[in-house]
Structure 1
Amino acid sequence: MKKLVILAIATVFLLAACGKNKVDDSAAKEYIKISKETITLFNEEKFDEMRTMFDATMKDALSVEQLQEVSDIVKESGEFVSFEKESIAKKEQYFVATITAKYKEDNRVYTITLDEQQQVAGFFVK
């Protein structure tokens, strides 16, 4: 009986901790939309326009030339086809969108971190 009570308490704490990272639906839709816009600009090689979405740290950390280098690697996956899976989570003061993009030859997973001002604070592609 004692183990059951401890298990129940642990479950409540675990669920409470998970709940803090939940993003409400309207915010999730907005952050996913911004993330997809970022990926679209990346795919279209509109790097200057893409960088206008970056926060100051990202602008300093990721140049147009570096974006072009990453784009050249992604091009090996073929032409962009569609967005497949998407999710969003809140980590501290940031929103982290994970979006799978289908290309003709391969899939790529984008992880885009956005701050509360909806600026891109991280851009990663696998």
Structure 2
Amino acid sequence: MNEMPNNHMFLQADEEIINHEQFEDMRDLLEEDFADLIQVYLTDSQQRVALLRNAQQTNDNANGFEIAHALKGASANLGTTQLVNLSTQLQSLCRDHRISEQAELIENIATALQRAKQEIHQRLGQ
């Protein structure tokens, strides 16, 4: 029997936080509007994490799926790789009606967001 370990909910230490090429492509594309995009992204993402916590506590798989989907899309635009991967995992688990068991995964999403925020500020020299 070949059982996979249940470690899909953990951040991978060697996984990049932000895809450099994707981040720089978006910066080049938006030029002076990039800083505004970053601020909106960080604010919206923090609100989404709070909404995910609420969805988890109320066992709201449909809402959890939609929030995770929105977070994944916004994160993909900036190349925040860990957030994309974790949001994808949460979407899948919501599809399986398992959000009530995902407090740890949601906290990992919150941690990945903080790491992304730190790296973004570092890249922008803030």
Q: With structure 1 as the length reference, what TM-score do the two structures score? A: 0.33
Larger Rg belongs to = 1
Larger helix share, 1 or 2: 2
Larger strand share, 1 or 2: 1
Q: With structure 2 as the length reference, what TM-score do the two structures score? A: 0.33
Using CA pairs under 8 Å that are at least 6 residues apart, name the structure with larger relative contact order, 1 or 2.
2
